[in-house]
Amino acid sequence: MRAHLISLSALTLLLAACGSQPPAPEQNPAGVESRTPGPVRVATPPVVTKVQPADKFDPGSIAALKDPRSPLSKRSIHFDYDSYVVKDEFQALLTAHGKFLAANPKMKMLIQGNADERGSREYNLALGQKRANAVKKALALLGAKEEQVEAVSLGEEKPACTESTEECWAKNRRGDMLYSGEF
């Protein structure tokens, strides 16, 4: 019984100690935010009055460079083995790029001449330069200014394909045309 009295005394002291602390200040409840949707505003799209047909491209339009339907989106001239003669099949492509450069005199182009892995490093660098120069010369004959076009050789250092097959080597024998902002 004495143990019971001690624990009852301890409990009384504990309760008395809790009651002697000042009451906690009341907190203001958080405000409630209204989540009622307001009116929705939809922007009116601009009215298109004229649509240019897919087969007509302005040779001076910079947008044509990225349009996959435009010949200007094609940027590689491929060469035969051990050759830097531009093939007839690429004349229309070069004409389109030549007209574009003539219509945009501030636009610059970098031509990167490439070769396949066969041959020495020095030989492939020289062949890549001849290929880049051939494309540059063709563009100049089609209206591009000398200061608009730069020709460099990458030799075999930037292959489009890495397999040792004739099909792959043909993809690597090329001149790539890059416009301002792409190099």
pLDDT at residue 61, rounded to an integer? 73
Each residue's pLDDT tens digit, 28-49: 655 555 555 555 454 444 443 3
Give the SS3 label for residue 3: helix
Write down all domains in the chain, each with its CATH number in brackets. Answer: 62-68+76-179 (3.30.1330.60)
Query: CB of 57 within 8 A of CB of 64?
Result: yes
Give the β-pairing of 76-78 and 149-155: unpaired
The residues, ordered by sequence, that sit 6+ positions from 105 with a Cβ below 8 Å of its Cβ are 145, 148
Q: Residue 53 — very low, low, confident or very high, per pLDDT cuts 50/70/90?
A: very low
